[in-house]
A and B are shown apart, each in its own frame.
Chain A
Amino acid sequence: MARSVAIVGTGQTDHRSHRPDVNGREMIYEAVKRALEDCELSIHGIDAVVIGNMDHFESINYVDTWSVEGSGALMKPVMKVTTGGTTGSSVAIAAYYHVASGLFDRVLAIGWEKNSESDTTAAIITCSDPVWDRFSYSGAIPSLATEASAYMKQYGATQEDAARVAVRDRTHALNNPHAHLRRPITVEDVMASPMLAYPIKLLDVCPRTDGAAAVVFAADGIAQKIAPKPAWIKACAVRHTYTWFGDVDYNAGLVSLQKASREAYQRAGIRNPVDEIDVAELYLPYSYAGLKWIEDLGFCGPGEGPRFVREGHTDMGGKIPINPSGGVISTNCIGATALLRVAEAAMQVMGKAGQRQVPDVEVALATGFGGCFWSDVVILGTNRP
């Protein structure tokens, strides 16, 4: 039988566009050290390590073995889990199963990326099928521009609607000392920023960040001794359905998120997400996702995203605050990005989110996004499942 599992500690670097002061292994060490300090464990207390990033960004093959001195995996079990943008949540879910299996009691999940050492777009272009997709859907932005255009046509959403999402996340980032972009912006700033691919402008999208995140998972019976208020994993669900960008139905919503969130809600016993979830850390790589994908999560009906955001329901103090951390639009160390969502959600549940804390969080939602419109969903809570 699977054991209950909780997050007992989190750590992250102070994210920057460029960290010339550390190499990749040292940057990983920084996050790991902070995670261990957070839960007052030594590395000797860790039974296994799961690590992930995206290979071609730093061009390190076998990151699991390359990083042992930084990750603390020396003479421990370590494996690499990598699934593109969803890497961070995939790593978290892998750490969950390491513990749930009964084989390990305390497991360290690590995500990292040193984007300053990479040509991110040149690398990510190669994710598309070389024959069918690569010349139309080259890199991260074209497929998202397709999605945004389709959404605007379908529901009459405007560029200003999307800009509000970017403004919200960047405003929230002011409360997060770790965030990469901590300068307030306005809707006018977003509208005036350079067009990258219609309708996406520079301030609509996430930056490239150097950073790492580390999260400690522990088993039922042990977690309670480590953390006064562990963040229990209530459900995880994953859908990585498509291979070809041309197969995606851009008018059907983000189907992977619809399916993964429904499975996760069912497992966690959530019927009405807006009422039952207290805070959401969503992998929103660009502003339009903050309109459309909250519909797929069931926070509001189809086409209602712009109004839901406009009315302030997703702001701090709203019905369901989204991205108190500032989200992906403020910080994007790719392999760590989805793990940061899980870490931030856990911090909210544990009451450790400092200035960005949402009061009295009992249930928090974290998502990952990546690959070919893929979604991962993790639900955390104060009550042991």
Chain B
Amino acid sequence: MDNIAVVGVAQTKYERSKKDKTYYDLVFEMTKEVLKDSGLTLRDIDNVITVSNDFLDGRTISSMAVGEAAGGHDKNISTVEGDGTFGASYGAMRVLGGFNATLVVAHSKGSEGSVKHITNGMFDPVYQRFLGLEAISASALQANAYMDRYGVQEESFAQVSVKNHGNARNNPYAHLPMELTVEEVMGSLKVADPIKLLDCSPVSDGAAAIIIANGDYARKAKTRPVWIKGIAHCAEEYFLGDRDLTNPKALREAAKKAYAMAGITDPMKSMDVVELYDAFSYMEPLWLEGLGFCDPGEGSRLLEDGITTMSGRLPVNPSGGVLSSHALLVAGLARIVEAVLQLRGEAEKRQVDGARTALAHGINGPCGQSHCVWVLSTDK
């Protein structure tokens, strides 16, 4: 793979409801900010990828509302529907395929829709949708299967929520910085057994943008480039009943490919910081297993042993993760933004000292049916 880099990042503060702005206002804001961050001008950007979802935006051809705001006027532009990491991956392919610099921007205003109905729309319209399956109830099935298979306790999931909401206190962009105890998480409202309110990510409004550039334009940018060393995505079976929900095999496959591209053989040794898609607390240990940081069933021990805390060997979600800020579609792109800030040494109070290699991760579809893995580095 040629040398390509992330040379600009921007994100909004994530909030319950950004009443004063339309989602195209958010996209415009991010476009301006990411250009400012990179020191490039709109003239340097020769193509744009927007990320949007017609269900979330309540609008057919939702990309139509944001192209102009994203600086897409008279430029080559396209739209990925799915998590921001997938949009960023297409953006990277376009730079590898001949463009100089791709601006990727994702937005969402969950406050303007019913996320429950929107995620219900992921499920088969004939056999499953009328059961009421949506993101939370489907994830509850996955959490139960995980607990049953490996004897993981609900308290272990609660610890993830405590850690990530605690980390969010260092992140000025986070929606829910909280000082929690395991007891508070365990005592919070039961939403779908075993998932409780504080095991769930919030529904946030927000937007984020990055600029991906080739070597020449990386030199032109004023920021310290963060090099893209590995990118891979993969999807497994659709029906939950066809899957082993405790074995994230698509994630394993994506991680394997991304590590191979980056020349990584032992991720635990090579990675300095991880930002992963913890839409629910149980997802963090499960995805850590899929990412190969430990054996199957051992994910929770990484936190119990202190490895994934801010002072541990492999801090996971220093930003507070998706549990603390969840703007749908944006959340994966925000993982890349956070990983880049870590590698630029600009993560301020949430900085992991001396971070040189970082992993960012996003998911699509129910219970992490499709995963995207990015490996980023300070070194070319």
The interface of chain A, by Cβ under 8 A from chain B, is 1-2, 23, 54-56, 59-69, 73-84, 90, 93-94, 96-98, 100-103, 123-127, 129-130, 237-243, 259, 370-372
Contacts and interface: CB of A to CB of B under 8 A. Distances in A.
Given A64-B82, A74-B237, A81-B79, 12 more contacts: A2-B96, A60-B125, A65-B369, A68-B236, A73-B235, A81-B80, A81-B81, A82-B79, A83-B61, A102-B96, A241-B72, A242-B68
Contacts of B254: 77
B47 to A, nearest CB: 8
Contact of B60 (A64, A93, A123): A123
A65 B366 contact: yes
26 contacts: A55-B53, A55-B54, A55-B81, A56-B60, A60-B121, A61-B118, A65-B122, A66-B122, A68-B236, A68-B238, A74-B237, A75-B236, A77-B233, A78-B370, A80-B80, A81-B80, A82-B54, A90-B78, A97-B94, A97-B97, A101-B93, A101-B96, A102-B96, A238-B77, A243-B64, A243-B67
Most buried by B among A61, A94, A130: A61
A95 to B, nearest CB: 10
B98 interface: yes
Contacts of A80: 80-82, 86
Nearest to B63: A83
A240 B63 contact: yes
Query: Considering the complex of A and B, which 10 residue pairs feature the smallest CB-CB distances, nearest first?
Result: A65-B365, A100-B97, A61-B121, A101-B96, A84-B61, A55-B54, A2-B98, A101-B93, A127-B61, A97-B97
A65 B235 contact: yes
Contacts of B119: 61
B69 to A, nearest CB: 8
B264 interface: no
Contacts of A63: 81
B249 interface: yes
A66 B238 CA distance: 6
Contacts, number: 180
A127 B96 contact: no
A376 B66 CA distance: 18
Contacts of B24: 243
Given A75-B250, A81-B78, A237-B76, A102 B122 contact: no
A372 B64 contact: yes
A103 B65 CA distance: 31
A68 B238 CA distance: 7
Contact of A259 (B59, B74, B366): B74
A65 to B, nearest CB: 3
Interface residues of B, number: 61
A143 to B, nearest CB: 12
Contacts of A79: 80, 82, 86, 89-90, 233
B9 interface: no
Contacts of B364: 62, 64-65
A125 B66 CA distance: 17
B178 interface: no
A223 to B, nearest CB: 16
B234 A61 contact: no
A234 to B, nearest CB: 13
Most buried by A among B72, B75, B93, B249: B93
B1 interface: yes
Interface in B238-253: 238, 249-250, 253
Contact of B2 (A1, A59, A69): A1
B58 to A, nearest CB: 7
Given A80-B80, A259-B74, A2 B97 contact: yes
B210 interface: no
Given A55-B55, A123-B60, A127-B60, A77 B234 contact: yes
Interface in B72-122: 72-82, 86, 89-90, 92-94, 96-98, 118-119, 121-122
B26 interface: no
Contacts of A54: 54, 60-61
A158 B274 CA distance: 64
Nearest to A61: B121
A382 B180 CA distance: 65
A106 B65 CA distance: 33
Contact of B72 (A74, A102, A123, A240): A240
A80 B370 CA distance: 12
Contact of B122 (A62, A73, A97, A101): A62
Given A75-B253, A127-B60, A129-B65, A68 B78 contact: no
B232 interface: yes
A59 B129 CA distance: 11
A65 B60 contact: no
B55 A61 contact: yes
B231 interface: yes
A98 B2 CA distance: 14
B60 A124 contact: yes
